[in-house]
Amino acid sequence: MDLDAVRTFVAAADAGQFQEAAAMLAVTQQAVSKRIAALERSLGVRLFTRTPRGAQLTIDGQAFLPHARDLLRVADRAVASVHTGRRPLRVDVINSRGAATGLMRGFHRAHPEIDLDVVMLLDGVETAVAAIRSGAIDASFRAVAMPGRPLPEDIESVRVLDEPLQLLTGPAHALAGARSVTVAQLAGHRIWMPGIVPGTEWGAYYDDLVAEFGLTIESTGPNFGSDALLDTVADTPALATFMSERTRLVWPAGHGLRRIPVTDPTPVYPHSLLWHRDNPHPALATLRAHLAATAAGHDAAGTWAPDWVTPR
């Protein structure tokens, strides 16, 4: 159905005269008549009758009018959905319980007037880059890139958060009573992380952590999610896991789990925001400014991150 003809029909119905409808639409009266005639042929009914006072809706025209208005509203919403600045800002946070989700919640509290679509792309940075380049998302939180594989030239990035790692143990673990542990103290202890996916940026991060400090990180076994991981760590004295400081998890009180800071140096997971350099969405600039203000003043002294991540 020709939406211009439908829009012309609604304008004529509201104006009551083809001449006034033509003025409203900035077209000629002849164009209005042709559009209405084409719509009537398409529908197989008469929509107007001519009278000395103008154009009056027929019974069929009266029946069609509310549906015509609905058609135009749907069409306008469809156009608005792809107009930058009028559609929600789409941001990938990888998972719902991590630091990136917390950062976006803070942004939403600071800017409730900005519409957001928060998505979770669980694969590596290449998936996020492809989604950014296709326009499926506007931005993504990542550890930037894999070593030896820099980001494409059209993708920008900025470091927004260095998140300390903590050791998570059950109550019977040898380090459970410590107020903090050094990286050196972790040598020889089994750290189980079934969520590590080979070929991802977080997989590369933990590979470098193992190589740098001689740690034992195991990713064997199926990944049944955080609840299964917490159950296993709570029940197995020989196992511990790394947990990012801002990861939000809840477990039964009977688990007796301990979150222990790691020091000398503190391993930090480097979160960066990625976006396309030509993305004109106005809310993207607002998000970047908010994250820059949030990150300002954070002291990175005494921390460790792999050499291949982009410095702050």
Q: Percentage helix, strand, coil, to 5, in the chain?
A: 40, 20, 40
CA distance 68 to 10: 7
CA distance 36 to 17: 12
CA distance 12 to 33: 10
Is it the case that residue 21 has pLDDT exceeding 90?
no
One-letter identity of residue 5: A
The reported pLDDT for the residue numbered 233 is 96
Strands in the chain per DSSP E: 48-51, 54-57, 89-92, 116-119, 139-142, 155-169, 181-182, 190-192, 216-218, 239-244, 258-263, 266-276, 303-304
Mean pLDDT of 127-145: 87
The chain-wide mean pLDDT, for the chain, equals 88
The reported pLDDT for the residue numbered 305 is 83
CA distances from 285 to 111, 114, 138, 199, 272 (A): 12, 12, 11, 31, 15
pLDDT, one tens digit per residue, over 101-110 is 999 999 999 9
CA distances from 287 to 88, 118, 150 (A): 12, 13, 24
Output the CA torsion 276→126→120→243 (10° steps): -110
Mean pLDDT of 234-261: 92
Share of the chain above pLDDT 70, in %: 93
The reported pLDDT for the residue numbered 154 is 92
What are residue 272's DSSP bridge partners? Answer: 142, 159
Q: Which of 42-56, 135-149, 280-294 has the lowest mean pLDDT?
A: 135-149
180 versus 306: which is more confidently predicted? 180
Any residues with CB less than 8 A from the CB of 213 and at least 6 apart, and which? 183, 184, 186, 187
Mean pLDDT of 112-138: 88
Chain Cα centroid distance, residue 262: 30
pLDDT, one tens digit per residue, over 197-231 is 887 888 889 999 999 999 999 998 888 888 899 99
Mean pLDDT of 89-94: 92
The reported pLDDT for the residue numbered 81 is 63
pLDDT, one tens digit per residue, over 60-88 is 999 999 999 889 888 877 776 666 556 89
CB-count exposure of residue 87 (10 Å: 0-12, 13-18, 19+)? middle
**Tokens at 171, concatenated:** 């109550």
The reported pLDDT for the residue numbered 110 is 95
The reported pLDDT for the residue numbered 55 is 86
Nearest to 117 by CA among 104, 106, 103: 104
Q: For the chain, how far is it from start to end, CA to CA, in angstroms?
A: 54
Any residues with CB less than 8 A from the CB of 176 and at least 6 apart, and which? 169, 170, 258, 260
Output the CA torsion 154→155→159→163 (10° steps): -160
CA distances from 298 to 86, 198, 228, 291, 301 (A): 34, 31, 34, 12, 9
